[in-house]
Chains A and B, each alone.
Chain A
Amino acid sequence: MKFTLNWLKQHLETDATLTEITDALTIIGLELESVEDRGADLGGFVVGHVTECEPHPDADKLRLCTVDVGEETFRVVCGASNARAGMKGVFAREGQYVPGIDFTLKKATIRGVESCGMLLSEREMALSDEHTGIVELPDDAEIGARAIEAMGLDDPVIDIAITPNRGDCLGVRGVARDLAAAGFGTLKPLDTSPVGSTFESPRAVHLDLSDGTEDACPYFVGRYIRGVKNDPSPKWLQDRLLAIGLRPISSLVDITNYINIDLCRPLHVFDIAKVEGDFHVRLAKNGEMLPALDGKDYTLDGTMTVIAGDTRAEAIAGVMGGENSGCAGATTDVFLEIAYFDPIRTATTGRKLNLQSDSRYRFERGVDPAFLVDAAHITTRLIQELCGGEASDLVIAGTEPDWRKAITFRPERVATLGGVEVSKADQVRTLKTLGFEVADVGTTLDVVAPSWRHDIEGEACIVEEVVRLLGYDKVPAVPFSRVQNLPEPALPPALRRRAMARRTLAGRGMVEAVTYSFLPEAQARLFGGGSEDLRLVNPISSDLDMMRPSLLPNLVAAAGRNADRGLKDAALFEVGPQFADDTPEGQSMAATGIRSGRTGHRNWAKPPRTVDVFDAKADALAVLEAVGVPVGSLQVAAEAPEYFHPGRSGVLRLGPKNILAAFGEIHPRVLKAMGVAGPVTGFEIRLDVLPKAKVRKGAARAHLVLSALQPVERDFAFVVDGAVEAEAIIRAARTADKTLIDEVRVFDVFASESLGEDRKSVAVNVVLQPTEATLTDADIDAVAAKVVAAVEKATGGTLRK
C-alpha cells in the first residue's frame, strides 16, 4: 500500500515528522516496507531562471547561460539544445552532488570559458533516462525555490505492508485513522455532504440475484452524471497517482483510482452511451464472454457476478470493468457504480480468471458496507469539480448489509490477556478514535466495531487494538517460569530414540543429510512406492512429484551427486519420515543410511576396502543396540525388500513378524536405473515399530556377578554344507552349555575343494567362564564334546580334524 506524506496529511492533522510517522507505522502493525524521500537527494537544487543564453565562443554546440537563482547569478556552459533565454530550469551549484552522474560539481573551464554549476536533465537528477534536454520548469516556478517542489517531487512516498485482516488500511484514510489512534495527530473530518441532483436517473439498477445468491451484491448505489468532460486530470491528481506507480489516463479513470486508494472504496464509471437499458447485477451465464479493461477477453461462469446492461455483461463485479463501456475522451454521460460485493465470491472469481486488480484486492478483504452513499457524494463532487456535469438522484438497490456486532468487553482483559494495565478511560479513548462505538455499562463496556473493521470478532480483538496502539513495547515482559523447579524431559521416548539413532550414526563416521520428502515418481517406484494417493497434485516440478516410500533413494542419489564431484566414498544417513499412504498411520520415521565406494581413503597403515553388506548390518545393529533393542534376541533372515541385492541382504527381526530393519547392498539394477555407480550398501531402520523400552522400576541395572576365575578359550572348526548359516552354528554352540559358555565368535570361514563340493569350514572361538571352581581338563573336554555334538546335530556338519 503506497501513498505520499502529503496525501496522508490530507486526512491527518499532525506535527509528526516523516521519520516519526514511518517508525510509528511499523510499531502499530502497518509495517513499513520502504520510504522514498526524493527530497533527501534532490532537495538542494533550486529553480534557476535563464536570463541570457549566448553561443559559446569556441564551440558550436555549447551555450553560455546566465542563470539567476534570486540572490546570485551564475555563468554556466550548457550543451542542451533546449537551453534558451527566459526558461526556468533546475540549477545545481558548485559543491553539490548530482546523483545521476555520481559526481560532485566543481568549478570547471570548458573550452576556455569558466562554468559555475549546471542545469540538470532528468537523467542527471536520477529521475529517468531522459537526456535529450534539460528539465523545463513551469513559468510560474519561483526563482530560487526548491526545484523538486516545482516538479511535484517533494512529497515522500511511503510503502507499507498490510496484513490480510486490515483491509480498512488499504485506503489512506484508514492509515491516518490508525495513526491518530496511536497519538500521532487527529483525523480530519471528511466532507460527506450530499451533492444535489437536478434530474431523475433514466436508468435503473436491478439486483437480479436468485434465492441463495443475494449475498453476491446486497447493496448498490448508482448515479447518472451527464455532460461531463473527460480531459486529462489536473497535475495534483496525476502527481499523486504517478508517485504510487499508477498511470494517469483520464479524469474519470483517475478519479476512480484515486477514490479507491484514498478511501478504500473501489468504484466504477460506465460510459452510459455504450450500455443498453438498465443495470442488472446478476450471475454470469456459463461461457459468457467479457472483454475487460486490461485488453483481455475473459470467459465467465455461473459462479461469477457481473454488472450487465439489458443485453450483455459490462463489468466483472468487484474485479474489473469491461472495455465496451469504459470511459474515453469522448465520454459525456456516465453512470457511477458504488456497490458492496461479496468478498469470497470476488476472490474466487479473480482467482479463477487469474485476474488481479486494486479493486479485487480490496473487495476480497472486505470494504466498508456502510460507506456507499457518502462515497457516492464524495465521488460526484470530485467528478463535478474536475469534469463538470449534472448529477441525478442516487439510484439505490438493496439495503446496507447488517454489519453491527455487539461485543461485551471486560476492560480487565487488557491486563489479563494483553499483559499491560491500561485505564478504562484510555481504552475507551483509543477505541473511539478508531471509530468504535463504546458504551460504559458498569463493569463492562458494550462495544460495536466500526463498519470497516470486519476483523473485530471478540474480546481478544479489542485487547489487540488497545495494546497495539499503546505499543507492544509497553507490555512488561514477565519471566515465563516453570510450573515445577525441574522440567519434565522434553523428549518423549520415541524422540529420544530418534536422537540416539542420529548421534550413534554420526559417531560411526556417517554424515547426516536432510533431503526432500518428495522425489521423482520413477525413483519412488524403484523403492516400492508410487501409489496414487501420494502423488502431489501441484508439484514444483515433475522431478518432485511423489512422496517418498523410503529414505534410501534420496541418499543413493546424493551419493551419486557427490561421486560426480569426485567424492566417491560417501557415508550418509538421514532420520526422517517415509510414506506408505496418506494417513497419519502411513507415515513412519526411519533411520536410514548408505555407504558407497570404499571404507576410507588410501592409507599407508590401514588400506581401505570396498564397502559391503556387513558395513550396513553393523550400522543397523549399532543403532538398534543404542536405542535399547535386545540385539541378542534378533533373528537375521534373508527377506530384504527387492531393491536390495537378493544374495547380499537381510532383515533383522524380533520374532517372525516384527521386522525392525533391512540391510544389504543396493540392487545393481536399481543403481543402474538411478545412474549411480556401485557398490552402494544401505540399511533402513523402522523406528516406529521398535519394541517399547521395558518399563522398569527405576533405572537400576541387573545384579552384576563377577567371577574371580579365569575364562578358558577353545577353538573348533566345523565342516558344514555351504548353505548352513553361521547363525545356526553360533546358536548351537552357545546353547550347548548355557552356564559355562559365555561367548561364541566366528573367526574364520573358508571354502575349498579339499573340504568336498559345496562344503565350507567355519571356525569358532568359544569362551568358557567358570563361576564355581577352576575348570579341570576333564571339565573342559566334557564341554567341548557337548559343543561338537550340538553343532553337528544342528547343522549336519562335522568337526574338522
Chain B
Amino acid sequence: MNNDLDQIRDEALTRVATAEGLDALEAVRVALLGKKGSISGLMKSLGGMAPEDRKAAGQAFNALKAQVADAIEAAKERLADADLEARLMSEKVDVTLPVREQAKGFVHPISQTMDEVTAILGEMGFIVAEGPNIEEDWYNFTALNIPPEHPARQEHDTFYLPGEKNGHRMVLRTHTSPVQIRTMQNAEPPLRIIAPGRTYRCDYDATHSPMFHQVEGLVVDKASHFGHLKGCLIEFCRAFFDVDDLPVRFRPSYFPFTEPSAEVDIGCTREGGAFRIGHGDDWLEILGCGMVNPKVLENCGIDATEYQGFAFGMGIERLAMLKYGIPDLRTFYESDLRWLRHFGFSALDVPSMVGGIG
C-alpha cells in the first residue's frame, strides 16, 4: 500500500515538474486533483475501506493531496515568473535614445542681477520704488541740483523728446536718480528705497549703450551718516560678489546731488592674465555714492536741518559683466539666443539671502 502511494506521488510530482507552461500545468492539476482526478479518486476509495484502515489511509491520502497541491502552486509561480521574464525581454528598448525634448527657458542676466541686488538690499530694509523712463528735465536734472548750464548736465548726453510739461523739457532719464525726487516728494521720511530701471544716454560705442540699467539707492532719516553709507555698501559689495574679505575703497568724487560724494572701487587682480575680483594689486570702479545734498532734500520739501541720508547708484550691466564674466556690453541687448542661453539663468534660480546670491 505504501509503496503504491509512493509510486503515485513520484509520478504526480514528476508530471507537475515537467509541465511546460501554465496551460499544461493546469491540465496536470485537473488530471490529479480535479473531480475526476487520480488523487481525488483515491480519496473516493476511502468509502470502500474497512473502518480500521480508513483513518490511516485517509491521513496518507490527504498528505499526498496537500503535497501535490503545493507543488502545483510552486510550479505555477515559477512558470508565471518565466513568462514575465520572457515578456520583459521582448519589450527591450534602446535606452540610449534621447528623451522627449522640453524647451528650456532662461532669465536674462540683467533681470537676475537686479533680483540679486534687490535680495541683498531688501535684507537691509530697502524697498523697491519706480519712476517713468520719460522724465521732465526738472526731475532728471534741476531737482538734483544740476541747473541748466551746469557742466555736469552737458556731460550726460541726454536724449530729448519734443514735448514740454510744466515748462520743462521731456527727456529720457539719464539715470535712475529722478526716482529719488519722486519718492521724496510723495513719502515721508524715514525712507530706504532702491530704484532699479532703464536709463538712457546718447552714446554708442564698445563701452556705451544708448540704453542701460542702473539701480539707485536712497536713505533719508535723522542719523545715517557717511559711516553708515560705507557699512551698507561694503556689505553689499561683499555679498554681491560673494567675497568675504573683498577690499572696498571710497574715493572723493563729485555728483551735484550728493555732498560729500564718493566713488567706490573694489579690489581685483589681473595676475596671470586672468581677471579676478578680490584681493589684488588693482582697483575697479563700481559705483558712485554720497550723502544727499541738502539742496536736493529742500527741492523735495524735506527739512534738511532735520533730515539727512545717503544715496548711491550703480550700473547693472557692469555688475553683471564683472560677476559673470560677460565681455561685451552691447551683447546684452542683441537677443542672440545663443548668448541668452549661455549667460541666462534658470527660472527657478531665484536669488535670496537664504538660498544664496549667484
Interface residues of chain A, those whose CB is within 8 Å of chain B, are 26-29, 31, 163-166, 343-344, 347-348, 351, 364-365, 415-420, 455, 457-461, 463-464, 467-468, 472-473, 475-484, 487-492, 495, 499, 502-518, 532-541, 544, 547, 554-555, 558, 561-562, 565, 567, 570-572, 575-577, 579, 582-584, 586-587, 599-601, 603-606
Contact partner of A540 (CB less than 8 A), chosen from B101, B154, B204, is: B204
**B121 interface residue, CB < 8 Å from A?**
yes
Chain A residues whose CB sits within 8 angstroms of the CB of B231 once the complex forms: 477-480
Q: Are B291 and A582 in contact (CB under 8 A)?
A: no
Chain B residues whose CB sits within 8 angstroms of the CB of A538 once the complex forms: 159-160, 202
Binding site secondary structure of chain B: mixed
**B299 interface residue, CB < 8 Å from A?**
no
Q: Are A418 and B151 in contact (CB under 8 A)?
A: no
Contact partner of A511 (CB less than 8 A), chosen from B200, B230, B341, is: B341
Contact partner of A351 (CB less than 8 A), chosen from B100, B154, B190, B250, is: B154
Q: Are B260 and A512 in contact (CB under 8 A)?
A: no
**Separation of A479 and B190 alpha carbons in the complex (Å):** 17
Contact partner of A467 (CB less than 8 A), chosen from B161, B256, B260, B293, is: B260
**Separation of A344 and B283 alpha carbons in the complex (Å):** 36
Give A347's nearest chain B residue, CB to CB. Answer: B149
Give B201's nearest chain A residue, CB to CB. Answer: A540
Q: Are B337 and A420 in contact (CB under 8 A)?
A: no
Q: What are 13 A-B residue pairs whose CB atoms fall within 8 Å in the complex?
A: A28-B252, A164-B155, A458-B259, A459-B294, A464-B261, A480-B124, A480-B229, A482-B123, A482-B124, A483-B190, A538-B160, A576-B198, A599-B103
A417-B225, A464-B259 given as contacts; is B149 within 8 A of A348 (CB)?
A: yes
Q: Are B340 and A583 in contact (CB under 8 A)?
A: no
**Separation of A508 and B346 alpha carbons in the complex (Å):** 11
**Distance from B72 Cβ to chain A, minimum over Cβ atoms (Å):** 39
A482-B125, A511-B344, A587-B134 given as contacts; is B159 within 8 A of A536 (CB)?
A: yes
Contact partner of A539 (CB less than 8 A), chosen from B159, B162, B335, is: B159
**B241 interface residue, CB < 8 Å from A?**
no
A417-B225, A478-B230 given as contacts; is B98 within 8 A of A603 (CB)?
A: yes
**Distance from B177 Cβ to chain A, minimum over Cβ atoms (Å):** 16
**Distance from B108 Cβ to chain A, minimum over Cβ atoms (Å):** 4
**Distance from B175 Cβ to chain A, minimum over Cβ atoms (Å):** 15
Q: Are A464 and B260 in contact (CB under 8 A)?
A: yes
Chain B residues whose CB sits within 8 angstroms of the CB of A455 once the complex forms: 254
Give A557's nearest chain B residue, CB to CB. Answer: B335
**B322 interface residue, CB < 8 Å from A?**
no
**Separation of A31 and B337 alpha carbons in the complex (Å):** 40
Q: Are B228 and A490 in contact (CB under 8 A)?
A: no
Chain B residues whose CB sits within 8 angstroms of the CB of A475 once the complex forms: 226-227, 230, 250
Chain A residues whose CB sits within 8 angstroms of the CB of B204 once the complex forms: 540-541
**Distance from A481 Cβ to chain B, minimum over Cβ atoms (Å):** 8
Interface centre among B149, B333, B334 (most CB of A within 10 A): B149
**B64 interface residue, CB < 8 Å from A?**
no
Q: Are A512 and B340 in contact (CB under 8 A)?
A: yes
Count A/B pairs, Cβ under 8 Å: 277
Give A492's nearest chain B residue, CB to CB. Answer: B128
**Separation of A460 and B131 alpha carbons in the complex (Å):** 28
Q: Are A491 and B251 in contact (CB under 8 A)?
A: no
**B232 interface residue, CB < 8 Å from A?**
yes
Chain B residues whose CB sits within 8 angstroms of the CB of A460 once the complex forms: 259-260, 291, 293-294
Q: Are A603 and B235 in contact (CB under 8 A)?
A: no
Q: Are A472 and B251 in contact (CB under 8 A)?
A: yes
Q: Are A606 and B340 in contact (CB under 8 A)?
A: no
Give B308's nearest chain A residue, CB to CB. Answer: A417
Q: Give the interface size bracket for B toward A.
A: 35 or more
Q: Are A579 and B293 in contact (CB under 8 A)?
A: no
Q: Are B226 and A567 in contact (CB under 8 A)?
A: no
A468-B252, A533-B161, A579-B134 given as contacts; is B105 within 8 A of A506 (CB)?
A: yes
Interface centre among B107, B203, B337 (most CB of A within 10 A): B337
Q: Are B210 and A540 in contact (CB under 8 A)?
A: yes
Chain A residues whose CB sits within 8 angstroms of the CB of B159 once the complex forms: 536-539
Q: Are B249 and A473 in contact (CB under 8 A)?
A: yes
**B68 interface residue, CB < 8 Å from A?**
no
**Separation of A365 and B170 alpha carbons in the complex (Å):** 26
Chain B residues whose CB sits within 8 angstroms of the CB of A473 once the complex forms: 249-250
**B61 interface residue, CB < 8 Å from A?**
no
Q: Are B210 and A511 in contact (CB under 8 A)?
A: no
**Separation of A510 and B211 alpha carbons in the complex (Å):** 23
Chain B residues whose CB sits within 8 angstroms of the CB of A601 once the complex forms: 101
Chain B residues whose CB sits within 8 angstroms of the CB of A599 once the complex forms: 103
Chain B residues whose CB sits within 8 angstroms of the CB of A518 once the complex forms: 210-211
Contact partner of A562 (CB less than 8 A), chosen from B123, B163, B337, is: B337
Give A166's nearest chain B residue, CB to CB. Answer: B254
Q: Are B254 and A565 in contact (CB under 8 A)?
A: no
Q: Are B162 and A533 in contact (CB under 8 A)?
A: yes
Q: Are A29 and B252 in contact (CB under 8 A)?
A: yes
**B180 interface residue, CB < 8 Å from A?**
no
Chain B residues whose CB sits within 8 angstroms of the CB of A562 once the complex forms: 335-337
If A562-B337, A584-B132 are given as contacts, then 15 extra A-B residue pairs at C-beta distance below 8 Å, sorted by A number, are: A28-B252, A163-B253, A164-B151, A344-B149, A468-B260, A473-B250, A483-B192, A503-B347, A509-B102, A511-B340, A512-B344, A540-B204, A576-B198, A600-B101, A601-B101
Chain B residues whose CB sits within 8 angstroms of the CB of A603 once the complex forms: 98, 100-101
Contact partner of B335 (CB less than 8 A), chosen from A499, A515, A575, A576, is: A515
**B44 interface residue, CB < 8 Å from A?**
no
Chain B residues whose CB sits within 8 angstroms of the CB of A567 once the complex forms: 337-338
Give A600's nearest chain B residue, CB to CB. Answer: B101
**B111 interface residue, CB < 8 Å from A?**
yes
Chain B residues whose CB sits within 8 angstroms of the CB of A365 once the complex forms: 151
A544-B210, A587-B134 given as contacts; is B106 within 8 A of A491 (CB)?
A: no
Q: Are B259 and A505 in contact (CB under 8 A)?
A: no
Contact partner of B111 (CB less than 8 A), chosen from A419, A487, A502, is: A502
**Distance from A380 Cβ to chain B, minimum over Cβ atoms (Å):** 31
**Distance from A561 Cβ to chain B, minimum over Cβ atoms (Å):** 7
**Distance from B165 Cβ to chain A, minimum over Cβ atoms (Å):** 7
Q: Are A490 and B127 in contact (CB under 8 A)?
A: yes
CB neighbors of A among B320-344 (8 A): 332-338, 340-341, 344
Q: Are B224 and A514 in contact (CB under 8 A)?
A: no
**Distance from B357 Cβ to chain A, minimum over Cβ atoms (Å):** 14
**Separation of A538 and B235 alpha carbons in the complex (Å):** 40
**Distance from B316 Cβ to chain A, minimum over Cβ atoms (Å):** 10
Q: Are B105 and A510 in contact (CB under 8 A)?
A: yes
**Separation of A507 and B107 alpha carbons in the complex (Å):** 9
Chain B residues whose CB sits within 8 angstroms of the CB of A600 once the complex forms: 101, 103
Q: Are A517 and B200 in contact (CB under 8 A)?
A: yes
Q: Are A477 and B227 in contact (CB under 8 A)?
A: yes
**Distance from A361 Cβ to chain B, minimum over Cβ atoms (Å):** 9
**Separation of A475 and B260 alpha carbons in the complex (Å):** 12
Q: Are A461 and B340 in contact (CB under 8 A)?
A: no
CB neighbors of A among B195-243 (8 A): 198, 200, 202-204, 210-211, 219, 223-232, 234-235
Interface centre among A344, A365, A478, A544 (most CB of B within 10 A): A478
**Distance from A25 Cβ to chain B, minimum over Cβ atoms (Å):** 10
Give B105's nearest chain A residue, CB to CB. Answer: A506
Q: Are B161 and A480 in contact (CB under 8 A)?
A: no
Chain A residues whose CB sits within 8 angstroms of the CB of B121 once the complex forms: 490
Interface centre among B111, B119, B252, B256 (most CB of A within 10 A): B252
Interface centre among B111, B152, B159, B260 (most CB of A within 10 A): B260
Give A455's nearest chain B residue, CB to CB. Answer: B254
A29-B253, A495-B128, A508-B105 given as contacts; is B333 within 8 A of A516 (CB)?
A: yes
Chain A residues whose CB sits within 8 angstroms of the CB of B119 once the complex forms: 490
**Separation of A505 and B104 alpha carbons in the complex (Å):** 10
**Separation of A539 and B98 alpha carbons in the complex (Å):** 49
Chain B residues whose CB sits within 8 angstroms of the CB of A420 once the complex forms: 226-227
Chain B residues whose CB sits within 8 angstroms of the CB of A547 once the complex forms: 134, 161
Give A544's nearest chain B residue, CB to CB. Answer: B210
CB neighbors of A among B15-59 (8 A): none
Q: Are A491 and B128 in contact (CB under 8 A)?
A: yes
**Distance from A687 Cβ to chain B, minimum over Cβ atoms (Å):** 12
